[in-house]
Structure 1
Amino acid sequence: MGREGVKGGGDDDVEAVLDELYALPPSGFVARREERAAAARTAGRAGDARRIHAARRPTLAAWAANLLRHSRPDEAERFLELGRALREAHATLDPSGLKELSAQRRRIVSELSRQAAELARDAGHPLSEPVRRDVETTLRAVLADPEAAGLWATGRVEGTLTPPSGFPAETAAGKGPARQASRAAPVTAGRKDRLAEQRAKRLARAREAARAAEEGLRARGAEQEEADTSLAAARELHREAGERVSVLEEQLREERAALERAEREQREAEKRARTAADSLARARRDADAAAAEAERAEQDAR
């Protein structure tokens, strides 16, 4: 079943409505939510209406994070994969490995938060510096906390997600307690080799995920730079065209003023011509009358 609103009924319709709501800027969320909930109630779907009505309006930072998830799906998937790899590898890495991955993580989070701010600005809702920091906090939580990652993956974050003080002790594979028990028991050489191999694999996976994420961001940055260059060129063409239009509009105003003057002069000339024609007609009538009178006088004199 497709996600096309609340007309047909079923969970897919509710999911489509929620997707729609959380893609909206916060300013339009409540009105649209009430509209959608009312439509569900009118259709006799009271349960769906309650679920829709229970949706909470996201903060501006949460909306920007959701916008990033929906608008940059490839980068978002790489970011989620990086989080899974980091959580899996975190407890087994040595300090040097952690330092390397932490630096990459900071760069990726910073770049993604910048992209979120650009998307929000392009949508007409620029982010203040505190709001952008909230976006960064949410992205750090997505890397550190699987629950935060799962929520962001849905694109329905409602508020700022807060990362734990450190990555969780349990890995994505759920092997935290087993690692703690292994510290208390003697470790054979073979087991040490296996643990070292597991750590190496986890580190390699985390490094690969970080590399893929950074490469994706670099590619996106190159695209953005090209788009910015095109935008700057388009703006310059627009400015030049605007200047030409201004000159032409001024010329048009002058020509219109000249046309109006010519029309006034034409009307005045036509008026003078009519007056002259009337005067000429009267003069001709007077002349004709005088000629007739002279002719009568001449006949009387005979």
Structure 2
Amino acid sequence: MRRKGERGGAGQDPEAVLDLLYGTPPADFVARREELAAAAKAAGRAEDVRRIRAARRPTLAAWAANLLLRSRPEESERFLELGRALREAYQTLDADGIKALNEQRRTVVSALTGQAAALAQEAGHRLSDAARQDVDTTLRAVLADQDAADQWATGRLESALTPPSAFPRTTGASPKPAGRRAAPPPPKTPPKDELADRRRKREQETERRAQAERAQA
């Protein structure tokens, strides 16, 4: 996970400049972007100018999620590790185990959402209820989806992330309650060739009986 720089300069690495930019509150983002782009242009870094100007201002919730990652690196790394462990566990756990993990997930997400809101408040930007909900859904997405986790780990979210409806499972099936037996397989239908052979045998038997009756008559 990157350490975020506090100051931007003409000689800075472009990745550090972008990290600095996405650490800027949304209200100041555009002005800061133009300042950094002008510095890169003055230094003759045309490609850096293009990348800086291509950056999009994050929503308040996305900025708060980025701020959480930047300000709490150790907790954020543990959170990413928790997501990896949860996604692996969901491949094999039964319904009871998944229920316990869901309760743990809700507790951790709620705590980190509160931390993000507190950090935003300290920076002078109070999160509305809607923004807090967006931070919450973003963190739930990070736990459930590897792509979402990778996006958050960059510290450059532009908008809130949306979690999947459920954790992914390799089989694509819902967990089965304990004790339920699988339904028996449907009876097999004989192949068409076998049915035709049976039909011919019945016809031959019928013909032999008819011939015998005619002979007796």
TM-score class, shorter: 0.7 to 0.9
**Displacement of 1:131:** 0.6
Matched residue, 2:163:
163
1:62–1:157 Cα contact (<8 Å) kept: yes
Q: Secondary structure at the match of 1:161?
A: coil
Instruction: State the AA in 1 paired with 2:21.
Output: L
- The alignment's TM-score, normalised by the length of structure 1, stands at 0.53
The aligned residue for residue 106 of structure 1 is 106
Instruction: Give the greater-gyration-radius structure (CA).
Output: 1
Aligned to 2:211: none
Normalising by structure 2, we get a TM-score of 0.73
Secondary structure at the aligned position of 2:117 is classed as helix
Report the counterpart of residue 54 of structure 1 in structure 2.
54
User: How far apart, in 1, do the equivalents of 2:118 and 2:39 lie?
Assistant: 34
What corresponds to 2:75 in structure 1?
75
Unaligned runs of 5+ in 2: 174-217
Once residues 33 and 89 of structure 1 are traced to their aligned partners in structure 2, the CA distance between those partners, rounded to angstroms, is 42
Mapped partners of 2:11, 2:35: distance in 1:
16
Cα displacement string for residues 168-187 of structure 1 (whole angstroms, at most 9, x for unaligned residues): 23xxxxxx37x99xxxxxxx
* Structure 1 segments of 4+ aligned residues over 3 angstroms from their partners: 2-6
How many angstroms does 1:75 deviate by?
1.1
CA RMSD of aligned residues (A): 1.9
- 1:6 deviates by 4.7
- Deviation (angstroms), 1:81: 0.3
The aligned counterpart of 2:193 is none
2:10 aligned residue: 7
Aligned to 2:93: 93
User: Aligned partners of 2:9, 2:71: CA distance in 1, in Å?
Assistant: 24
Flag structure 1 segments of 5+ consecutive residues without an equivalent: 170-175, 181-302
Tell me the matched-pair count: 169
Tell me if 1:148 matches 2:148: yes
Q: Which amino acid aligns with 1:42?
A: A
Q: Does the 8 A contact of 1:5 with 1:14 survive in 2?
A: no
Give deviations 1:1-45, integer Å, cap 9, x for gaps: x97645236xxx111111111111101111011111111112111
Question: Whose RCO is larger (CA < 8 A, sep 6+)?
Answer: 2
Is the CA contact (8 Å cut-off) linking 1:142 and 1:149 kept in structure 2? Answer: yes
Find the residue that maps to 2:55 and give its secondary structure.
Answer: coil
1:298 aligns with none
Aligned to 1:152, the other structure's residue is in SS state helix
**Paired residue for 1:137?**
137
Q: 1:105-254 alignment to 2 at 5 Å?
A: 105-169=105-169, 176=170
Letter of the 1:132 partner, please give it.
R
Residue type of the partner of 2:168?
P
Larger % of helix: which?
A: 1
Query: Aligned partners of 2:49, 2:38: CA distance in 1, in Å?
Result: 7
Distance 2:51 2:87 in 1: 33
Whether the aligned pair in 2 keeps the contact of 1:61 and 1:160 (CA below 8 Å) is yes
Secondary structure at the counterpart of residue 91 of structure 1: coil
Q: CA separation in 2, counterparts of 1:64 and 1:52?
A: 20
The answer to whether the 8 A contact 1:6-1:14 is kept is: no
SS of residue in 2 equivalent to 1:92: coil
The DSSP-based 3-state class of the residue aligned with 2:44 is: coil
